[in-house]
Amino acid sequence: MDDTYDVHATLEECQMLNEAIQRWDETAATSLPKYMRMLYIKTLRNINGIEDILEPFEKYRMMAYIQKQLFNPVSYKLQSNNYLQEAKWSNGKHIPSLKEHADVTLMSTGLPFLFSLALMAAGQVVVTKESLEWALSVPTMVRASGEIGRLLNDISSYKRGKNKNDVASTVESYMKEHGATGEEAMAAIKTMVEQAWRRINGACMELGRTMQPALQWLVAMTRMLEVFYLHGRDGLTYGYDIKEIVAFLFLKQVPV
């Protein structure tokens, strides 16, 4: 879906796709270009099919929260709205302010949405009603994780050179707002990453023991981002950058 909004679709097609997603009805596929129809139908069926893969004892406990997820600030529908806003910025060659960027792109990273879905699949040891409701509210710690993902990605893309359809990055927004050079902006963005980590660490110390399993999941996901984007690389887009790390962790024998 991200690639469709970023690369494949025209702005008009992005608007059509978003309208269909807001309807959340398979009959809306007929209003879409042919190449989008399978994406749309599969998306709806995958999300709606979550109930079918839950164990019977999980269904009663979990489905109310999954339904809530669809209409929560981290919902799939809002994710589509955010992608559309980015497409509008890109199409209009608009460089948003840092605040505009944060309001949209922290969520469009998908990390808050992914974290909530991961908790739903984690099992009873990790998932409690308290932890799910906490995640769905997108608290400071979850926003900080999304911020880290966004900022690290933008540093990487600025170093690598953006594609012509990419939305302006937070590095470019900082340069515009502060009259800074690229190097100065990247240094400031790295400081923002450190500040976000401080908010995560602070939340881990403040929240109670019952929340710790969920907190550790979020911390682990955020650490993963640091590995993907280490030294400005983009291991999410270019898998060869992390192939050796994966092989070392899961395939190679460890000397004893």
Per-residue pLDDT of the chain (256 residues; tens, 9 = 90+): 888 998 899 999 999 999 999 988 999 999 999 999 999 999 888 877 766 666 665 555 555 555 555 544 447 888 899 999 999 999 999 999 999 999 999 888 888 878 877 887 776 666 777 888 888 888 999 999 999 999 999 999 898 877 667 789 999 999 999 999 999 999 999 999 999 999 999 999 998 888 888 899 899 999 999 999 988 888 888 888 788 888 988 998 888 8
Reading the block at residue 209, the tokens are 């023991």
Tokens 């690389």 label which residue?
233
pLDDT at 134: 86
pLDDT at 88: 95
* Cα–Cα dist 243/57, whole Å: 38
**pTM summary value:** 0.84
pLDDT at 50: 66
Reading the block at residue 120, the tokens are 């739903």
pLDDT at 126: 63
pLDDT at 123: 66
pLDDT at 143: 93
